[in-house]
Chains A and B, each alone.
Chain A
């Protein structure tokens, strides 16, 4: 004990030059708590939790009298004690009694000599001070940077706002223009529609006549009087029912299932002789289009004699595929009718259709058993296709005389509206940007559209301040909240 005290004094003498020397009694007591122990120093001191009492000689006597550790601030005797490390040369610190005579940085808690502690406080303090200096420097740098950013932001914002107002003017002008064009366009379209219907009707009639002829030549032994009217009636009916027929039909069908589309095509090919015949017919058509013109009238009168049941069966047959050859031919026929005009668009359409087909095939192979995704995909394709399909179809049925004017108007309209939508989107993005919170002085304005990356072992963390944060590992990306 004596030895230990001597050592303690030695130690205190060593470390105590700059700091006020705590006596044994005050060891581990925080300066603000010293009064608690002094005030009651006459006789007994109460444990802080009030459970026990102890005498002044029992303070820091290395025996725990208070379960809460009041009497042993400077020793490890009480498990719940706290030791106040003065840490000369560094920040003071309160530590668990479980560290006393264990290893606290200034060695003042390691007084029993079992552990040889070097006074690391000066070093630690120096380190801490330097760290603090660096921090200050960083902060100062930050402030300068911030000022710069604010200046920058002011300029950018002014620029953006100028752009915005300019765009808004343009938008106004354009809107008017677009409105005018739209009206013009609609007029033209009405006219077109009328003409197209007329033409279609003619065509259908023409086809029916042709069909009738085909049927005739195909089934000579059959009772002609019955077969012929049935067929033609059927076609007439379809034409009326569907109005803007096959294009839409195709689109819708493809939404159901790509496989079905394929199937339709295939089944058309299955019937090889029939197909050839169709081709022949198509050729004939090409050679002598006029020959058919007289046909339709006579055929169109016939349909009334058809029963409802028969009609139903015929309509149904379209889905069973018996009849699909005609549909294909229909398209072909149209194409052949107006080769000079419609060549380009139709080709484009065909190409796209093929592309679509092959991709579908590919996809359906990949997805084989997965109906869900397949369906989704198909829908996408179907819709896109539908649009293109119909427009190209329409262009085919345009009236020759009106064409140049209509196309011109349409083109102008398209251009203007796309320009308008571009301007609008720019306006909205600018507005959105300007509405963001960029800090009180808009100092973060330039962070918009900027990203920062940091690499941590195998992950790359990417933060785009006004967008998203992510964690990348190899090729994979995880979005972070």
Chain B
């Protein structure tokens, strides 16, 4: 036990917690830029409906596209001081009901700069699907005075460009609108201009100045979804699945959904503020019309309003609508209009259409779909070996052990702390011997250290993002002063990818995979901030300051705690405020505090300044030096080799920052503001490419990323970032993952247990029980939390967590089949109920339950000591409760009793789920184990299902090396057939696996045997256990040991 200051530590932490809890939601909101502080957003929101008067002129077909010019009604108005140049509008049509609309400035008018279009997001195959338009027809719609141009889209769908005022919409059968743009006349396009004298384009936000050298260049427009009951999508937000209106009558705090990738410290649920990722894709769904989707390919900051019905009541404009509709307002700071309309009409159609544009999710390696064990940090090799052996000791399977930032040498990625990890290869090989893998973290910030080869090379080659003055941008992150490779540049991405080759990444082995964190990019001293600090109190009131434990290394060492304040919490007037800054673990001792540093707010600038007293620190810290490190280390960590003062740039509300300045420069003079949301995407892409290179193009990569953008699904998994060990965060994980799945990103999950804070055993167990159904299933924990590996909470809880993990392992064949489905169709593994039951209105806003594939329904338990759970089972079929095998009627809400043992889960009648019931230490050890098929019969005694298998590792599946079976049960006969009978590929995959057990749910017992054809053998039928677990299991009709090969065609007739 550490006797030093433990008491203080505890005391202050409890204080900190108390003050923290009471204040989070109230001030969190203030930390980020809201719409009113964001000029483009404020301007766009203040526009009145119908204020856009642009008309479409010169409409024609050219190069297979419909093109037009958008011009003001009186272009020759001499009194207009800044004449509006015409905009070029292009409409293209692609197969399967995708309409693309582009609007940009006319290059012939020589705008000061080419606007940024996001490259490398649209897959090349999509462009090949373009339909070359041959002709357009003109008609006058309704009571319009002018004509509209109409082009064919798909079957009964047509795209319409109304000329005056300009409007684009898609209409379906009978002329019914599906979705439209600029129906409310809110379109606005700020064209690039040359700065006039005396004009001030700069923008200031909390002490940071954005030079905005190109002036205002934002774009905004309205999009309407017809026949829609709800809209969904636009992740990433910690909000409900069905998006709530952000503006209009009855909306109290009117703040649009923001899409701006930020490293948000302890994000809160039910907040429209942007977090780590941005996917500007919205999907509407309604009982009347079905589903449609809209995607705006734009990487600048975006704000989106969902307008509640009646929002435009004041304007008095009668809209051509005879059906329910949802209007939305889209605003972006820069870029062009490059928008896609998806006609649906079903939910899976929209997802397929969208993923045809940005690509379907990559096929993960088999091991990646199993359970991952992570913590910041597994300390050293001994710790790793210990954790690994504990899993074996408790017979709990796991597949991947993760190493966070502490494994590196001073946060220099691609290096190892050789004291803690002297034999990284040996360590990985030991895991690999049990079929397990390891993941290490590689972040985009590169330590500015001349002796670090990566930094030296990047500097010499000019590979870093530049600041507004053209110098290498120098930001602050884990390692201290850092720079960021310009991932927009394909050459730099290729250079980065090479760093993952085994010969370049010293200490790596082929069983090592990668985790990309902080790629929003996270910059601690950039312009937008986040966290910092709650109040700390030891004596008296303190400042609202709490610096993140996670953000900066130096913060953990000399943890800024403002211990005492001369005045009050908020600085008022010009009086200087002084306070003391504490060393974290010695927080309560003011002596220590002041030895470390002093804190004051400058009188003039009102900037908080922290003054480190190095001498006194060195002299006085002997007793606590093990807590804060030696002087050298401290100074180094703080980055103050020559500085006595370290300025905390933003404080009170803003404090620390999260990302790069908007005027930072990328290749080709692209401003960071234009591509911000895509930076992490390119980084993720480069890393995944690196692992492909490492495997000589033969091995599928695995890279987990935190930042996301459309197309991220092609590069790997993502997780929902730094959540908290709270029940509400467990609850919000479901809509977050569902939303990601709707917008193409299926391989996602939330940190099981919650990253920040310590979950109680019950919450942890519930999280495992839910997390076992997340597509990406990883437990993770913050540095300062207590250890929480599954065996640390008593025998009973260990058993419960083990059981949850076992359920996942048993279902791996089903999950893997679903990943393949996502890989081919884009349809996510984890789906909202309405995706499977689009006509069942009761499911539309349900985000506490979800479907895993089309066969499993899972209901989360989100409250402590829950005895019951209300579960809505969609209509049409009955549902078999997984625990008992008994059937429940669909179309109603059941009040289910819940025990600590599991959360409610049901198999839909009419489905067949493949399982592997034998337990192994890791998924790779299950390769040769036999299957169990669980057939849940519907009212007509029928069912069907699929099973996909491949080698789980290589890209050979893309050449046809896989087994994809289809199982159909009807008339008492189970038939296995090949779903891809042609087997066109050259490559083949074979498996000797057999089916050892077939369970029939909903089948009346009586039969004694079954006949297997073509082998002409008999198999016994008996009552067997539903589950192979300790304790009594319900018995079900079981075909015993049919032992048919999974790869073959066969039938089994129940006699």
A-to-B contact residues, CB < 8 Å: 49, 51-52, 61-65, 67-68, 76-80, 96-99, 101-102, 112, 114, 366-367, 369-370, 372-373, 457-458, 473-481
Contacts and interface: CB of A to CB of B under 8 A. Distances in A.
Contacts of B395: 96, 98
B594 A475 contact: no
A479 B921 contact: no
Given A64-B1028, A98-B920, A475-B630, A79 B996 contact: no
B1028 A67 contact: yes
Nearest to A114: B928
A170 B2 CA distance: 44
B565 to A, nearest CB: 13
A369 B594 contact: yes
Contacts of B811: none
7 contacts: A49-B1032, A52-B1024, A80-B1028, A372-B590, A457-B420, A475-B630, A476-B630
Nearest to B1040: A63
Interface in B468-500: none
B1048 interface: no
Contacts of B152: none
A391 to B, nearest CB: 33
Interface string B992-1006: 000011000000000
| Leading 8 A-B pairs by shortest Cβ distance | A476-B626, A481-B1, A79-B919, A476-B625, A98-B919, A96-B395, A67-B1025, A63-B1041
A64 B919 CA distance: 12
Contacts of A102: 920-921, 925
A97 B925 CA distance: 12
A135 to B, nearest CB: 22
A370 B590 contact: yes
B625 A78 contact: no
B1028 A458 contact: no
Contacts of A51: 1025, 1032-1033
A65 B1040 CA distance: 9
A470 to B, nearest CB: 10
Main SS class of interface, B: loop
A98 B420 contact: no
Contact of A97 (B419, B591, B919): B919
A366 B919 CA distance: 65
A62 B925 CA distance: 17
Given A98-B919, A474-B630, A476-B626, A65 B1024 contact: yes
Contact of A458 (B419, B917, B921, B1041): B419
A103 to B, nearest CB: 8
Output the residue of B806, B925, B929, B1028 with the most chain A CB within 10 A: B1028
Contacts of B380: 457
B616 A68 contact: no
Of A78, A79, A96, A478, chain B has the most CB atoms within 10 Å of the CB of: A79
Interface in B600-655: 616, 619, 622, 624-626, 630
Nearest to A456: B382
A67 B3 contact: no
A67 B1031 contact: yes
Nearest to B917: A79
Contact of B996 (A77, A80, A98, A112): A77
A478 B2 contact: yes
B1030 interface: yes
Among B580, B591, B626, B918, the one with the most A-chain Cβ atoms within 10 Å of its Cβ is B918
Contacts of B1028: 64, 67, 78-80
B777 to A, nearest CB: 19
B738 to A, nearest CB: 31
B4 interface: yes
Interface in B916-941: 917-921, 925, 928-929
Contacts of A62: 996, 1041
A77 B918 contact: yes
Contact of B625 (A372, A457, A474): A474
B945 interface: no
Nearest to B593: A370
Interface residues of B, number: 42
A78 to B, nearest CB: 6
Nearest to B1032: A51
Interface in B1011-1055: 1024-1025, 1027-1033, 1040-1041
Contacts, number: 101
Contacts of A112: 928
B397 interface: yes
Contact of A79 (B420, B616, B625, B918): B918
A478 B594 contact: no
Nearest to B393: A96
B4 to A, nearest CB: 6
Given A62-B996, A373-B591, 15 more contacts: A51-B1033, A62-B1041, A63-B1040, A79-B806, A79-B919, A80-B1028, A80-B1030, A98-B921, A98-B925, A101-B928, A102-B921, A474-B630, A476-B626, A478-B4, A480-B1
A290 B1041 CA distance: 128
Q: Which among B622, B919, B921, B929 has the highest number of chain A CB atoms within 10 Å? A: B919
A97 B590 CA distance: 58
A5 B650 CA distance: 74
Given A65-B1024, A67-B1029, A370 B594 contact: yes
Nearest to A96: B395
Given A98-B395, A98-B921, A67 B1041 contact: no
A93 to B, nearest CB: 13
Given A64-B917, A114-B928, A477 B626 contact: yes
Contacts of B616: 366
A83 to B, nearest CB: 12
A97 B1033 CA distance: 19
B419 A67 contact: no
A369 B591 CA distance: 9
B645 to A, nearest CB: 18
Interface string B385-409: 0000000000101000000000000
A310 to B, nearest CB: 43
Contacts of A78: 1028
Contacts of A370: 590-591, 594
B42 to A, nearest CB: 45
B996 A68 contact: no
B1029 A80 contact: yes
A129 B624 CA distance: 48
Contacts of B1: 480-481
Nearest to A50: B1032
Contacts of B1041: 61-63
A51 B1025 CA distance: 9
Nearest to A369: B594
A373 B1025 CA distance: 72
Most buried by B among A67, A102, A474: A67
Nearest to B628: A476
Contacts of B580: 369
B922 to A, nearest CB: 10
Interface in B332-382: 380
A372 B591 contact: yes
A112 B925 CA distance: 14
A371 to B, nearest CB: 9
A378 B624 CA distance: 23
B918 A67 contact: no
A79 B619 CA distance: 61
A80 B1030 CA distance: 7
A216 to B, nearest CB: 52
A49 B1030 contact: yes
Contact of A68 (B419, B928, B1030): B1030
Nearest to B397: A98
A476 B622 contact: yes
A76 B930 CA distance: 10
A112 B1031 CA distance: 29
Interface string B1-23: 11110000000000000000000
A163 B3 CA distance: 38
A341 to B, nearest CB: 43
